Amino acid sequence: MSFSSPRPASISVDFGTSHTVATIRRADGRVHQQLFDGSPQLPSAVFMNDEGGPVVGADAVHSGRRKPDRYEPNPKRRIDDAQILLGDTEIPVTSVIAAVLSRVARECEQTLGALGPVTVTVPAAWGPTRRHVVADAATAAGLGTVDLVAEPVAAASYFVETLGAHVPPGSGVVVYDLGGGTFDATVLRRATTGFDVLAVDGADDLGGLDFDQALAEHLAKSVQPDDERWRRLTSPTGPADLRHRTAFMDEVRQAKERLSRSASTELTIPLLDIDVHLTRDELEEVCTPLVERTLRVTQGVIRESGLAKEQVAALFLVGAASRMPLVATLLHRELGIVPSAIEQPELAVSEGGLVAQHTVSTPISVPSPALPPQTATPMAVPAPAPTGQTMRLPHPSAPPPQPTPQAVAAPPPPVTQPHPGSPVPPSHMTGPVPVQPGYPAGPVPPAEKGGPWIKSKQGVIVLSAVAVAAVLAFAAIAVPAVLGDRRDGQDSALENAQNTTGETTQDGAEATGDDTDGSASTGDDDGLVALAEAAQGDLVARMSTQHVGAITQLEVAQLEGKPVVLTGGEDAIVRIWDPASGELIDEYRGHDGAIQSLGVVPDADGRVAVFSSDGTTDDTWYLDDPKTAVADRESQYDTIYWYGLWDGTPAYATDYEVKQLFTGNVITDISTSYGYGLAFCEVDGDLRAVSHYENRVVVTDLASGEPVGGTFDQLAYEIMALAAGQAAGKSLAVTVTGEGAVQAWDLAAAEPYGVAAQELYQTVSALRVVEIDGKAAVLASGDQGLSLFDIETGAQIGESFAEHSGEEALTAAEVLEIDGHQVVATGTGMGQIEVWSL
């Protein structure tokens, strides 16, 4: 029986310069963006119609093209103005912002039925006057009394709490927020109670709009510069010229965005009525001075924070303009820190606001010094049309690692920004969460447990008793273990806790729990089918729950000519299994934290080298001798996308470099900056980077970073996960959308392959290209289990299987072959390891 009761739904609003984003967490724990006219981004634009009422969003943008004098595209940039002139009417800036937030309130109320607690994010550098303007506008918009959250704290909380980025307490993070109209750089230090803001700086006049303006000025100087019509485009006076100016800037913005994924593009210059060819090199030449300005600000806040370079654990990129490839390239080059980004950086702050509550204190009852809330009657906002269907998001792909405290130099006095803890999300088959330009689909945090019952008297009593019992039990088993070195072969406290559950008591009775020999036998083989007789979906082997906590990594390899399965867990152990018998072969105990990376590479002598990392130490060891670490070094905080031989040298690849497996030394630089969901795949004999941008799959050359061949446009929904591999003699990519549409693409031919499948059973979080009986297939892993689809026909093969959900949901899966029979090994959030027939 559950003692928990439903929580009220909550909303987090990121009021941005160009767009506003609202993220909803429903009472059942589901998280998704509120859609506005079918998009998660609501243009922050306001237009005054003929009836004297405001129009907000896409309709405002459309109307603003016809009557730009009644149009304000970026109210946030006008935050310091008392009034905004729209047509012939001066409107208080509070009311203009309230019009935007009113649209958010009405849409969210239609989705939820009633509004719950609301968070609004604001720049960390904003003082009380600006914060009060936003708070007053939110109240006037019907959002009630809102909590204000510092944007960089929300962003950092999203990367760490929701995505599981590894930032040990005591380490610093840099949040680089390049939005549509503003730029902010913030250094925060993670404490056990939240984030401390150590330094913040920025520019209110630097953002995507300024990149657009610089590109427009470049065109005016380089394309028929003597044509007098340029004056009408650059300095419009009448309504007709204002309309031409608006159309011109739309062309410029769209061309800039296309150049983030293409080497060149065409755009039309209105009024001149000519088409112009524009290259990425031109764009980067124009924008480099602006990006360099952000670099100077970022370097300044890092210096001001007092943190040494090695104390900065991560650099998080947020804001729509940060997805420009030039940004990540220059940041990495100048700072020496690998930037971490996500597929949709414009959504991070809004989602993070759900995690980082109560981080800015603004007494709502105190009128704004600049603009009291009652300076004007709030404008009436017409009820919006019903929104479209919300888009499902996949589950997170890796659990946050166990923090490891690090000593840091004394920083300047911090401003504490507490945040609540969040549930540990599961991982999926593709490995650790890629928190940089290779990040796949965005996650849905699992529902938090407990609810209001935890705060009740009964809940406090029960939890206190459980906590006391747990502490006493842990103390009894942990004290003897702490005396041993982590590499001396003695059992850790986790191992003792696990193994004592299966020991024989003094009176001869066998205690319940795991077998101490680590084999698959549990005394009851019910449910297992002999491999030779197994059909697709049958369970053929089950190992005991040998990992304490979730399986975070799973790999397959060959040992002495036989297949083996390697599993890494939250308990910091890597184990080697015989998948046919389920018996434990050996294990590696060289780490202190959850295993975040695990890969196998045969070396030149034929021995299989294993790379494993817990985010603190990167170790390399041989599969046939897991007791000995060949290389042990401090972690380089890399997210790894590929393991293999690079010109005969065992290596691994990040999104920027190929590194030697044993030393971590850079072998060569590579470029993978064209998209997200990064995967590596051999195409026509060459290793290529395969990624996606919105609904488009892109194949790029690793040396130049330039696209190879054409691009494939997925169905009319954004891609949520991508995988690439070889099957049926072809190099294939497979994608899945938020609506469950699964489509394959022939990488060599740059065209769709087969028929799109539809997963209706579950939310898919990961894919794998496989070959079944000589035909290409895709294995889909989600929140309910596994599904298999024929790529050529789009039909599902058999029934869904490996059913696991909730806390026991699948966290990893790999395909292998045993005696000519294809199987898939899976790991779960509760440490279970099983083998299923394909």
Dihedral angle sign, alpha carbons of residues 444, 391, 763, 676: negative
The per-residue pLDDT for 439 is: 29
Place of tokens 């203009």: 96
For residue 52, being part of any structural domain is answered with yes
Dihedral angle sign, alpha carbons of residues 527, 533, 535, 541: positive
Distance CA 212, CA 217 (A): 9
Residue 78 · residue 72 · CB < 8 Å: yes
242 plus 282 within the same structural domain: yes
Q: For residue 801, list its beta bridge partners.
A: 786
At 94, is the secondary structure helix, strand, or coil? helix
Domain span at residue 479 reads 456-516
Banded pLDDT at 491 (limits 50, 70, 90): very low
Residue 435 · residue 441 · CB < 8 Å: no
730-737 and 719-727 strand pairing: antiparallel
CATH number at residue 115: 3.30.420.40
Distance CA 516, CA 500 (A): 8
**Per-residue pLDDT at 405 exceeds 50:** no
326 plus 177 within the same structural domain: yes
Mean pLDDT value across the chain:
78
**Per-residue pLDDT at 476 exceeds 80:** no
Judge residue 694's burial from the number of C-beta atoms within 10 Å of its C-beta, 0-12 exposed, 13-18 middle, 19 or more buried.
Answer: middle
The per-residue pLDDT for 119 is: 94
Banded pLDDT at 545 (limits 50, 70, 90): low
The per-residue pLDDT for 496 is: 37
- DSSP assigned state of 764: E
222 plus 134 within the same structural domain: no
199 plus 337 within the same structural domain: yes
Residue 534 · residue 579 · CB < 8 Å: no
Q: Token pair of 160, please?
A: 């760490």
Q: What is the mean pLDDT of residues 333-339?
A: 89
Q: Token pair of 444, please?
A: 């849905």
276 plus 320 within the same structural domain: yes
Q: What is the pLDDT of residues 153-212, one digit of tens each?
A: 999 999 988 888 888 888 999 999 998 888 999 999 987 667 888 999 988 888 888 999
269 plus 368 within the same structural domain: no
For residue 314, being part of any structural domain is answered with yes
**Per-residue pLDDT at 739 exceeds 80:** no
Which of 516, 546, 562 is where one domain is finished?
Answer: 516
214 plus 89 within the same structural domain: no
**Per-residue pLDDT at 603 exceeds 70:** yes
The per-residue pLDDT for 714 is: 56
For residue 477, being part of any structural domain is answered with yes
DSSP structure string for 353-378 = TTTS-S-B---TTSPPSSS-TTSSPP
109 plus 192 within the same structural domain: no
Distance CA 144, CA 365 (A): 12
Banded pLDDT at 403 (limits 50, 70, 90): very low
Distance CA 400, CA 163 (A): 7
Distance CA 254, CA 257 (A): 5
Dihedral angle sign, alpha carbons of residues 577, 583, 589, 593: positive
For residue 580, being part of any structural domain is answered with no
Dihedral angle sign, alpha carbons of residues 163, 169, 172, 175: positive
Q: What is the pLDDT of residues 758-811, one digit of tens each?
A: 888 888 889 999 999 889 999 999 989 999 999 999 999 999 999 999 888 999
Which of 516, 531, 565 is where one domain is finished?
Answer: 516
Position 351, amino acid: E
Which of 516, 533, 548 is where one domain is finished?
Answer: 516
For residue 521, being part of any structural domain is answered with no
20 plus 115 within the same structural domain: yes
CA distances 164 to 47, 401, 426, Å, are 41, 7, 10
**Per-residue pLDDT at 504 exceeds 60:** no
Distance CA 511, CA 451 (A): 34
| Measured distance between the N- and C-terminal CA atoms of the chain, rounded to whole angstroms | 37
For residue 710, being part of any structural domain is answered with no
270 plus 404 within the same structural domain: yes
- Total count of domains within the chain: 3
186 plus 259 within the same structural domain: yes
Distance CA 782, CA 429 (A): 10
Q: Does the reported pTM lie above 0.75?
A: no
Banded pLDDT at 731 (limits 50, 70, 90): very high
Burial 794-815 (b: 16+ CB within 10 A, else e): bebbeebbbebeeeebbbbbbb
For residue 692, being part of any structural domain is answered with no
Selection from 630, 658, 629, 628 nearest residue 642 by Cα: 658
Q: What is the mean pLDDT of residues 325-329?
A: 90
123 plus 178 within the same structural domain: no
Percent of the chain at pLDDT > 90 equals: 42
For residue 702, being part of any structural domain is answered with no
